[in-house]
Amino acid sequence: MTTTAGDHRYLQVARALRKEIVDGVYPVGSQLPTEHELCERFAVSRYTIREALRRLRDDNLVASRPRAGTLVVPRPSTNSYAQDVMSIDDLLAFAQGARFAIETNAMTTVDDALAERTGLSPGTEWLAASGFRRVDDDTAPVCRTEYYINRNFAAVGRLLQRHSGPIFPLIEDLFGVSVSEVHQEISAVVLPPDLAQRLQVQAGTAALQMQRTYTTSDGEIAQVTVNTHPSARFRHAMTLRRVRE
């Protein structure tokens, strides 16, 4: 008698919906029936429906928004046939060798100028640390680095001096959160005189400014980092490779 019954109801529902989505019953962009309607159709509780939909969301088949319903999202295989193999660690590799000398390290309130630069909300408090990164103590700095760290994780501030690599693993280890997303923006700037002097380059030199925002799985911003590299000493390189599915 258990022949028809596979596993667990919510898996059966998930399978059924998945099949209908790939069969085109619910084409990309269309709305799935509401959870209530699905409850009636499958004669199960809302818990079961939601558990099934959670599986479909985990597979990036659908996306749900309050009031907007649950809609079928385009399959990632159509036009975005490229995926890259760069890891977050590659992204940070450049920082490995250099030593970070802290100059400032204090709680700061985000003003409008900083908010504009970093995207942080004005008025919020962050641990701000800044300094210069160099490979040798005697050579010119590689870059100027600014950290803005979520106050909840400000305890890492004490470790910054001794630490040399990227610091978000520190936050992960100390607080048990995991960074699920890193957003990076790269822009070109002309160095102002004071900063040029500190970086030991001529005023008017171009610099690459790389800003990274680290977001935890809770959707909370853990850290924002701004690196300013004189153009002569830095070039950002990455390689995308197509992978078969």
Partner DNA sequence: GGTAATTTGTCCGTATGTATA
Partner DNA sequence: ATATACATACGGACAAATTAC
Closest distance between its own copies and the C-beta of residue 109, in Å? Answer: 15
CB of 150 to its own copies, least distance (A): 8
Q: Give the binding range for DNA (CB under 7 A) out of 36-44, 78-86, 132-140, 224-232.
A: 36-44
How large is the greatest C-alpha to C-alpha distance in the chain, in angstroms? Answer: 82
In the complex, what is the shortest distance from the CB of residue 103 to its own copies, in angstroms, rounded to a whole number?
23
Q: Does 75 bind DNA (CB under 7 A)?
A: no
Nearer of residues 101 and 206 to its own copies, judged by Cβ: 206
Q: Which does 205 bind (CB under 5 to 8 A by kind): its own copies, DNA, none?
A: its own copies
C-alpha torsion 44→50→52→56, nearest 10 = 150
Would you count residue 198 as binding its own copies (CB under 8 A)? Answer: no
Q: Is 22 in the site for its own copies (CB under 8 A)?
A: yes
Contact between 29 and 72 (Cβ < 8 Å): yes
Sign of torsion, CA 120 123 129 131?
A: positive
**Do 120 and 142 contact (CB within 8 A), yes or no?**
no
Q: Using the rule CB under 8 A, which residue among 36, 139, 189, 200 binds its own copies?
A: 189
Report the C-alpha dihedral over residues 148, 149, 150, 152, rounded to 10 degrees: -150
Which one, of 97, 178, 111, lies nearest residue 139 by Cα? 97
Compare residues 3 and 138 and give the one whose CB is closer to its own copies: 3
Q: Which tokens go with 43?
A: 């004669």
Q: Residue 161 CB, nearest distance to its own copies (Å)? A: 21
Interaction site with DNA (CB under 7 A) = 7-11, 32, 34-36, 43-48, 50-51, 53, 64-70
